[in-house]
């Protein structure tokens, strides 16, 4: 596969390294919420290509175990110590209305019932556009305990759903064509496969949802390539998705001196777009046609493994 150079950057912004979890999509804006000591956080609008500023978090966020979730125009943030909500940006000041100041800030929400003992492993927004499901895990010496919870964004109430978890890693997306949540499998023996999960009722207490595993392996299969991390993005339409994968290749070559030569790695960003469907047997499959492009990453972009293990991608 031909390696390409990354497209030229549209916008550059100074920010602390190794904090890739602190980027969020908010409407048509990309929100960089890194804690830099400043009171405001930059927001770049991908449509107007204009830079504005929004409120920063009240305390230092944990980028390694966090999630930004957009529901009904509002942005929700959950990490290991806080649960907050940010309303849509207020309108620009109008001089004809006088000096009316609108306070725009993150609002504290009721603390999740799992803060003290569990950590979040996956989440998904219900198609009712008001309920967020979170799955959590607690590892002990004997086994891992799991539990799922839901949060109603209108009533601001938490509900414990049961001793089960969603089958995907990180974020799952609701696909109306498949009538299912879709995400990357979190099971060790099915890494690189997608799973389509039955949508759990937002009103009733149900058991573990039924789910199907895709037949296709989406991660790199070339033995010379080593998978590092991946992010799945839903592009809408008729079950269109994009997989953003980071991988490494050892450039030492296959010769008798390989073990004596220091490892020389180059890193790639592979972007695969595809359509997902059920075949005639009801199995989950990707359509035959996929668009795959590989980009060679510059050394400065590979200095911090956080960016490689959790590549950040949005569809706006």
Domain residue spans of the chain: 1-89, 110-213, 219-316
Q: How confident is the model at residue 199 (pLDDT cuts 50, 70, 90)?
A: very high
Calpha distance 151→164 (Å, rounded): 16
Q: How confident is the model at residue 91 (pLDDT cuts 50, 70, 90)?
A: confident
Most confident region among 65-69, 82-86, 254-258, 297-301 by mean pLDDT: 82-86
Q: Which residues pair with 64 in a beta bridge?
A: none
Q: What percentage of the chain carries pLDDT values higher than 70? A: 88
pLDDT at residue 262 in the model? 46
Whether 133 contacts 150, CB under 8 Å: yes
Q: Tell me the per-residue pLDDT of 11-23, one tens digit each, with 9 for 90 and over.
A: 887 766 666 778 8
- Which two three-digit tokens encode residue 119? 């950590």
Q: Tell me the per-residue pLDDT of 119-176, one tens digit each, with 9 for 90 and over.
A: 899 999 999 999 999 999 987 767 788 999 999 999 999 999 999 999 999 999 999 9
Largest CA distance in the chain: 78
DSSP 26-81: ETTEEEE----S-SEEEEEETTT--EEEEEPPSS---TTS-EEEEETTEEEEE-SS
Q: Tell me the per-residue pLDDT of 232-285, one tens digit each, with 9 for 90 and over.
A: 999 998 899 999 999 998 866 555 445 544 456 889 999 999 999 999 999 999
pLDDT greater at residue 62 or residue 185: 185
Calpha distance 245→214 (Å, rounded): 18
CB neighbour list of residue 247: distance below 8 Å, 6 or more residues apart: 220, 225, 226, 227, 228, 267, 268, 270
pLDDT greater at residue 221 or residue 181: 181
- Secondary structure of residue 259 in the 3-state scheme: helix
CB neighbour list of residue 125: distance below 8 Å, 6 or more residues apart: 69, 71, 131, 132, 133, 174
- Secondary structure of residue 153 in the 3-state scheme: coil
Is the predicted pLDDT of residue 301 greater than 90, yes or no?
no
Q: How confident is the model at residue 212 (pLDDT cuts 50, 70, 90)?
A: very high
pLDDT at residue 298 in the model? 84
């Amino acid at each position: 596969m031909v390696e390409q150079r990354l497209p030229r950057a549209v916008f550059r912004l100074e920010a602390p390294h190794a904090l890739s979890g602190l980027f969020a999509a908010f409407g048509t804006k990309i929100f960089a919420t890194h804690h830099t000591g400043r009171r405001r956080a930059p927001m770049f609008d991908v449509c107007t290509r204009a830079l504005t500023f929004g409120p920063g978090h009240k305390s230092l966020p944990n980028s390694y175990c966090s999630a930004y979730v957009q529901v009904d125009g509002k942005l929700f943030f959950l990490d290991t110590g806080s649960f907050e909500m940010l309303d849509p940006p207020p309108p620009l000041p109008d001089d004809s209305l006088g000096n009316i100041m609108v306070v725009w800030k993150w609002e504290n929400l009721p603390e999740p019932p799992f803060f003290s003992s569990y950590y979040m492993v996956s989440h998904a927004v219900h198609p009712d556009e008001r309920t967020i499901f979170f799955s959590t895990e607690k590892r002990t010496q004997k086994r891992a305990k799991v539990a799922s919870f839901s949060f109603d964004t209108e009533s601001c109430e938490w509900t414990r759903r049961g001793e089960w978890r969603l089958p995907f890693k990180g974020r799952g997306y609701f696909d109306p064509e498949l009538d299912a949540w879709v995400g990357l499998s979190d099971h060790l023996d099915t890494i690189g496969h997608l799973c389509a999960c039955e949508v759990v009722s937002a009103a009733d207490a149900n058991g573990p949802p039924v789910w199907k595993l895709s037949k296709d392996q989406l991660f790199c299969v070339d033995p010379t390539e080593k998978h590092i991390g991946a992010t799945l993005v839903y592009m809408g339409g008729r079950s269109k998705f994009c997989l953003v994968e980071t991988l490494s290749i050892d450039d030492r070559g296959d010769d008798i001196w390989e073990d004596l030569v220091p490892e020389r790695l180059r890193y790639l960003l592979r972007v695969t777009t595809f359509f997902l469907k059920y075949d005639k047997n009801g199995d989950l499959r990707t359509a035959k046609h996929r668009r795959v492009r590989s980009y060679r990453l510059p050394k400065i972009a590979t200095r911090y493994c956080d960016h490689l293990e959790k590549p950040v991608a949005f569809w706006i």
